[in-house]
Structure 1
């Protein structure tokens, strides 16, 4: 294998670091069940005066339990 020029090596290194950062930064950290339950309860409490209970439960479930 030929020795690569410094520019090509730096491009490869930059690309490798970029791909690594992309995949680690985009990892989806799922909230815990307790956090999801708290989100659900908070959403219901916030909008209970404005919307029917059934609508709130469906909307809160879509928002908090992904």
Structure 2
């Protein structure tokens, strides 16, 4: 799945993102609204990860869904 598909199905995939990153709240995921950069930023903020680590996690997420 590519990110354009994720954006189109964000409401359905939000639950999977919550499973992956449990420290992200529903409000966080609502704010992201399928925006990859914002998701990576929220992961960095909540988990204290580098931009590269957050990007790698999002890539892994894409590969699994």
Report 1 or 2 for greater relative contact order, CA contacts < 8 Å, sequence distance ≥ 6.
2
Rg (Cα) greater in structure? 1
Same fold (TM over 0.5): no
TM-score between the two structures when normalised by the length of structure 2:
0.36
Q: TM-score, normalised by structure 1?
A: 0.36
Structure with a larger share of its residues in helix: 2
